[in-house]
Structure 1
Amino acid sequence: MDMKKFFCALFLASQLAAASGAAEKISDLSARQAPEWLTKTVICQIPLRSFTQEGTLAAATERLGHLADAGIGCVYLMPIVESDPDQNREFWSPRQKKSNTNNPCNPYRIKNYFKIDSEYGTEADLKKFVDRAHELGMKVILDLVYYHCGPTADIITTNPDFVTRDENGKVKNGLWRFPALNFDNPKLREYLISNMEYFVREFGVDGYRADAETHIPIEFWESARARLEKIKPDIALIAESTRAVCQLKAYDANYGFGIAINMKDFFAGSKDAKFKTAGDLEKRFTENKARYPKGARVMYHYDNHDLSTDHGRPEAEMPYEAADAMTVFLIAIDGIPMLFAGNEIADRAEYSLFANRHHKRSVLDWSAAFTDAGKRRLEIVKAMSKIRRERPEFFSGEMKWIDSGNDKVLAFERAKGDSKTFVFVSASPEPVEISAKLSENPKAYFAQRAKVSGGGDSAKVSLDPYGFALIE
């Protein structure tokens, strides 16, 4: 989606919420409890079009073993239902035109909400994909696009009042030039909730990521959640928004919008970085988390379909070792970590969400897995996924920032009862030494380009360029 328009819309929504004068501040309330599996997982977003040469569910199913071996606990599929093939560019988003792919089929412009797009395969293919993921111990979440639909969507013909219209009866478009759905119509709400139920009941999916959810009444999502939990009690819902009220009843996590770019710029050492020091970035994370109810979760990432489409692959802006350190930081912080397919093997291939095998195809470079950088990254993701899954301080513990004394070193403590880890991650291209207060006999149980010496109040952590250490 067009991120500038989206952020403007989010700001307006937040101002309206503030003006409503709620009796209690959201930050004084408590977030709903999330399914345990979500708090322990590393999510991987899969764009089917570029994940394999074929760009299909069947081909992606054959690659699930790779993700399971990498320690991925949940795969998130971009929209797989039928896209609108309308050629009228009046109803193409600015990004869609700018891509120069000439592909009318934008996965976020829906033709039929119940039909699998033939580009990806069949209903049987989706069932096999989900079943195989479950066999490998992974969950599957799908992408919902309910704010708008395609200009020739089936529901516009069958149910004309499912879309918003002006006083003359003309269909009104939303932010991205697509018809906006009419949530004032209870029949539309029932239709969409039944759509969510369908994929859970018939295919066994484990949750959803809701696109542009802030433009949809929160009551709709709360009702949907209650219905879905009757089918699958541990279902997970992730909001593509920063709307803080989401996690009171409806959702399990919100997106960490903007922080992805802040994180990338910090590790890349960008001269245009908005947050240039470790202290700056710490403050950014702290202030963002304070917006939400107590115990709320934020899903963080440094790469996804929007960022790579609009700005190029984030890690291509930095040395491979810097991206390694960024990956460790992402998985170690308090939140839900999400990788974009290929991050686990240091892939830097160009990507566009509008490209497919028929229109300027962009495909993940699987040969990256055989490079030194790719092998090293895969081992990092494996190790960090295991740590996050098994050590309680990471999946249910507190996080306390530590002043490292160096502007390029992020440091924090993760703790849960007697289980404790000190984390040091360097974004510096130069060697650094940090004075730290650790245990009397500190041990780095996972580290690269790092050394720990001494103990107690006189401990030292030496980090080579982009080094990192997890210390107990």
Structure 2
Amino acid sequence: MLKRFFNKVSVLMMLLVMVFSIGKLPFSNSASAEQVKVQQSDSTTIPDNTIRIHYERADKNYDIWGLWLWGDVATPSAEVGVWPTGAIAFSNTQVDEYGAYVDVKLKDNPASINFIVVNRATGEKDGDAKGFTQFGEYKELYITEGDDFVYTSPDGSQVEKSKAHFPEWSKDATIYEVNVRQYTSEGTFKAFEAHLPRLKKLGVKILWFMPIQPISKEGRVGTLGSPYAVQDYKAVNPDFGTIEDFKSLVKKAHSMGFKVMLDWVGNHTGMDNIWTKNKEWYTLDNEGNITHPAGTNWLDVADLNYNNSDMRAAMIDAMEYWVKEADIDGYRADYAGGVPVDFWETARKQLDKIKPVYMLAEDNTTYSLLDKAFNSNYGWTLHYMMRDIAAGKKGAKNVKSYIDSMERLYPKGSYSMNFLTNHDINAWEGTTSELFGESEKTMAALTFTLPGIPLIYSGQEAGLDKRLAFFDRDEISWKDLSMQKFYQDLVRLKKENKALWNGTAGGEIRLLDTSDEHILAFEREKGDSKVIVVVNLSADHVSGSVIMDSKSVGNYKLFPSQEIFKMKNQQPFDLEPWACQIIVK
């Protein structure tokens, strides 16, 4: 989904800045818990079309906190008042064993809601923006102070094993996102093909192509438009070449050991898509006009109606087309949470009948997508956490909390895609050097060593130092490949060490005790493969020690130098700012 318009947490935050800047209204606290009788939550009393959100704090002081709401809620906070007093208030008088709670009335047929926990007096936020889409399945949500995840059970228990098929070739893969438009001066499939030998040397496995279909002209933004405003699902953007050019590229990539994944826009089409002749395939307003996706300003796209069975069948047919016709190996689903889970599950079943595919969901709130339909989703939480760490706002303890949450949220076997950047981040939020500064290489190492499948975006290995234009041509410079060797080493590290492989093919993560709060240390082990990572997540020089159990004591090698390293029970480390030591056995 495009950062210019929608929710990948930070963009919503940027949109909210416009609200924040309006000003504050006077605020007064509610009565204290001692003054009134405490009410207990009773799920049987939750009204229809309402969701109850529980919020737990260690200090049990809820009166000053509230939820700033937007999305498919009956009354968005911006309609109630300015930031932050327009937030729906928690209260010390309405609590249960899971903290304070509020009942949020929803619009009819809600698709998604979003919220931020905010101090209604000061504007202080507790965590990032959160979202939820699984309506009908749950009537209560649970959030906790300092935790950026939304849980559907009070104990945050882990869901069952994923039933999605995981292609054997994905077990040690790294994804590479291809922006054809900006990759070469020609901006074509044929011109990109010349880069395949270099990418083979880089070691990446999966080539994810941003949408390759023709772009709608109606409502077009910029000169060339957004690739996510698709005009015809079964055609190729003539700027890139022909269908035969693409098929030739896929064939060449396969011969070199790559797999090819296409970006798929299932939530909406361009405004002049060939499907618009079937108006019932789209969401219509009261006057019978095709609408844009609700809650957005995506004026170049039309919202699809997934209550229409003919549209669903046509969408699956179009997805099958590229697997059959071009022999692609999977899809990255744009705004996957905006499309019903059961559709994706049906589509995945049909695609797997043709060949085993890999499916990536652009989503990090609807974990049921990972039950049967998708292998992985977006690691937005880790991305923004790393940015906060780089800015000195968070630290090792937050990564530890994140790791614990991931183990409880993800269906076993599924995992996140970890990244420093992608087309959205680069275009709308900044370059990796802007966002991470001196910590960039350390954060990159974490994307390859923490559980998940890593992503490299076009130009990242060339130290991409500009924000690429999204709607026009803006060629990547390949003159400086100084980062190629760095990423080549990280890809090789992952491939050569089973402990770092994806999902259940890799080893589980175990956090290690350290003597300094700035040091993050963990190990992953699978069979005879073990990797230990020790990171200084601060801009200061740090000396400390890591506590190892007796099984982890012994001889290792430092990566990538291969220097012998003798691990002790209480191993001292002297770490420069943002230092990262990777120790391999």
What TM bracket, shorter-length normalisation?
A: 0.7 to 0.9
1:165 paired residue among 284, 297, 300: 284
Kindly state the Cα deviation for residue 187 of structure 1 after the two structures are TM-superposed: 1.2
Aligned to 2:528: 418
Matched position secondary structure for 1:115: coil
Kindly state the Cα deviation for residue 5 of structure 1 after the two structures are TM-superposed: 4.3
2:361 paired residue among 218, 233, 239: 239
Aligned to 1:295: 413
Matched position secondary structure for 2:554: coil
Aligned to 1:259: 382
Kindly state the Cα deviation for residue 25 of structure 1 after the two structures are TM-superposed: 8.2
CA distance in 1, matches of 2:157, 2:292: 32
Partner AA of 1:331 in structure 2: F
Kindly state the Cα deviation for residue 392 of structure 1 after the two structures are TM-superposed: 1.5
Q: Any conservation in 1 of the 2:210–2:262 contact (CA below 8 Å)?
A: yes
CA distance in 2, matches of 1:222, 1:150: 24
Matched position secondary structure for 1:132: helix
1:84-110 deviation line (CA, Å, top 9, x unaligned): 022x4xxx6xxx5xxxxx325211111
Matched position secondary structure for 2:302: coil
Cα RMSD for the two superposed structures: 2.6
1:219 paired residue among 342, 345, 351: 342
2:311 paired residue among 175, 188, 194: 188
Partner AA of 1:391 in structure 2: N
Q: Which has the larger radius of gyration?
A: 2
Kindly state the Cα deviation for residue 402 of structure 1 after the two structures are TM-superposed: 2.1
Aligned to 1:29: 160
Is 1:394 the equivalent of 2:517? no
Residues 62, 109 of structure 1: CA spacing in aligned structure 2 closer, same or farther, 3 A cutoff?
same
User: What does residue range 15-164 of structure 1 map to in structure 2 within 5 Å?
Assistant: 17-19=137-139, 27-32=158-163, 33-86=165-218, 88=219, 96=221, 102-103=222-223, 105-157=225-277, 159-164=278-283
Q: Any conservation in 1 of the 2:516–2:545 contact (CA below 8 Å)?
A: no
CA distance in 2, matches of 1:330, 1:134: 26
Q: Any conservation in 2 of the 1:47–1:353 contact (CA below 8 Å)?
A: no
Q: Any conservation in 2 of the 1:400–1:413 contact (CA below 8 Å)?
A: yes
Matched position secondary structure for 2:520: strand
Q: Any conservation in 2 of the 1:412–1:423 contact (CA below 8 Å)?
A: yes
CA distance in 1, matches of 2:281, 2:476: 38
CA distance in 2, matches of 1:282, 1:4: 29
Kindly state the Cα deviation for residue 182 of structure 1 after the two structures are TM-superposed: 1.5
- The number of residue pairs the alignment matches comes to 440
CA distance in 1, matches of 2:513, 2:459: 33
Q: Any conservation in 2 of the 1:45–1:77 contact (CA below 8 Å)?
A: yes
1:413-465 deviation line (CA, Å, top 9, x unaligned): 011133211112334444433312454433233147x9886532132233334
Partner AA of 1:445 in structure 2: L
Kindly state the Cα deviation for residue 29 of structure 1 after the two structures are TM-superposed: 1.3
1:379 paired residue among 461, 485, 488: 485
Kindly state the Cα deviation for residue 45 of structure 1 after the two structures are TM-superposed: 0.8
CA distance in 2, matches of 1:289, 1:306: 27
Aligned to 1:345: 462
Partner AA of 2:491 in structure 1: S
Matched position secondary structure for 1:149: strand
Is 1:441 the equivalent of 2:554? yes
Residues 103, 403 of structure 1: CA spacing in aligned structure 2 closer, same or farther, 3 A cutoff?
farther
Kindly state the Cα deviation for residue 381 of structure 1 after the two structures are TM-superposed: 1.8
Aligned to 2:427: 309
CA distance in 1, matches of 2:397, 2:515: 9
Larger deviation, residues 195-204 vs 387-396:
387-396
Q: State percent identity of aligned pairs.
A: 27
1:229 paired residue among 306, 331, 352: 352
Is 1:331 the equivalent of 2:441? no
Residues 434, 131 of structure 1: CA spacing in aligned structure 2 closer, same or farther, 3 A cutoff?
farther
Q: Any conservation in 2 of the 1:28–1:294 contact (CA below 8 Å)?
A: yes
Q: Any conservation in 2 of the 1:452–1:461 contact (CA below 8 Å)?
A: no
Aligned to 1:99: none
Larger deviation, residues 58-67 vs 253-262:
253-262
Residue ranges of structure 2 left out of the alignment (5+ in a row): 10-70, 72-111, 114-130, 142-151
Kindly state the Cα deviation for residue 294 of structure 1 after the two structures are TM-superposed: 2.5
Kindly state the Cα deviation for residue 180 of structure 1 after the two structures are TM-superposed: 0.7
Kindly state the Cα deviation for residue 353 of structure 1 after the two structures are TM-superposed: 2.1
Residues 278, 58 of structure 1: CA spacing in aligned structure 2 closer, same or farther, 3 A cutoff?
same
1:18-58 deviation line (CA, Å, top 9, x unaligned): 21899998823111242232231110111112111221111
CA distance in 1, matches of 2:158, 2:354: 31
Aligned to 2:302: 179
Matched position secondary structure for 1:142: strand
Matched position secondary structure for 1:179: strand
Matched position secondary structure for 2:421: coil
Residues 436, 381 of structure 1: CA spacing in aligned structure 2 closer, same or farther, 3 A cutoff?
same
Q: Any conservation in 1 of the 2:259–2:328 contact (CA below 8 Å)?
A: yes
Q: Any conservation in 2 of the 1:444–1:469 contact (CA below 8 Å)?
A: no
Kindly state the Cα deviation for residue 318 of structure 1 after the two structures are TM-superposed: 4.0
Q: Give 1 or 2: higher helix fraction.
A: 1
CA distance in 2, matches of 1:26, 1:458: 33
Residues 131, 20 of structure 1: CA spacing in aligned structure 2 closer, same or farther, 3 A cutoff?
farther
Residues 124, 147 of structure 1: CA spacing in aligned structure 2 closer, same or farther, 3 A cutoff?
same
Aligned to 1:363: 475
CA distance in 1, matches of 2:349, 2:239: 33
CA distance in 2, matches of 1:113, 1:215: 18
Kindly state the Cα deviation for residue 347 of structure 1 after the two structures are TM-superposed: 2.2
Residue ranges of structure 1 left out of the alignment (5+ in a row): 97-101, 357-361
TM-score (structure 2 length as normaliser): 0.70
CA distance in 2, matches of 1:467, 1:264: 16
